[in-house]
Amino acid sequence: MSFEAEFKGLRLRVLKADLTGLEVEALVNPANSLLLMGGGVAGALKRAGGSEIEEEARRHAPCPVGEAIATTAGRLKAKYVIHAPTMERPAMATSPEKVYKATLAALRRAEKLAVSSIAFPAMGAGVGGVPLTEAAEAMVKALEDHLAEKPTKLKEVVFAGLTEEFLQAFTTAVRRLTG
């Protein structure tokens, strides 16, 4: 199941899919500032891609919320993992504002890497405790604001999650953006 739309020449896709299996240039990890990859999406990326992703990321710690770093993607199909903290410490609560800042930081890092495709999970919606609808709205607003900043090298942005609720929340947010 999926939803697809276009916005300002950018292909937007919402997929009910495992982020770790996607073929995009960059995958986003909703990290903690310590860049420890224990559970949730971070743990899944580490299991699928290899511990070298975390080892490389840890060399950049601490990374504050609102900034993002990139590492190689190990065994993943992507070229990079962009680590964008949504929280300061592992498994702490976060907010839609921090989700917005993390998403914007990931998009800015993607521009610096000159990637054409990027995939996001629901940032902050796992252990961070942000409701899916609020995470989706914050992330899509960050994308909209990013596209207003300057021209983008991105051609495709994917939002990927495993549940029907994810699909509904992100489809609604993307539909609101694209009119």
Average pLDDT, the chain: 97
User: Domains in the chain, start-ordered, CATH in brackets?
Assistant: 2-178 (3.40.220.10)
% helix / strand / coil in the chain, to the nearest 5?
Answer: 40, 20, 40
What tokens were used for 35? 């860049």
Alpha helices in 16-88 (DSSP H): 40-49, 52-58
- Asked whether residue 1 carries a pLDDT value surpassing 80, the answer given is no
- The pLDDT of residue 169 is 98
Average pLDDT estimate for 54-73: 98
**With 80 as the cut, is the pLDDT of residue 132 above it?**
yes
pTM of the model: 0.97
State the average pLDDT over residues 150-161.
Answer: 96
pLDDT tops 80 at residue 85: yes
Determine the pLDDT at residue 21. 97
User: b/e map of 57-91 (b: 16 or more CB within 10 Å)?
Assistant: bbeeeebebebbbbbebbebebebbbbbbbbeebe
Average pLDDT over residues 76-92: 96
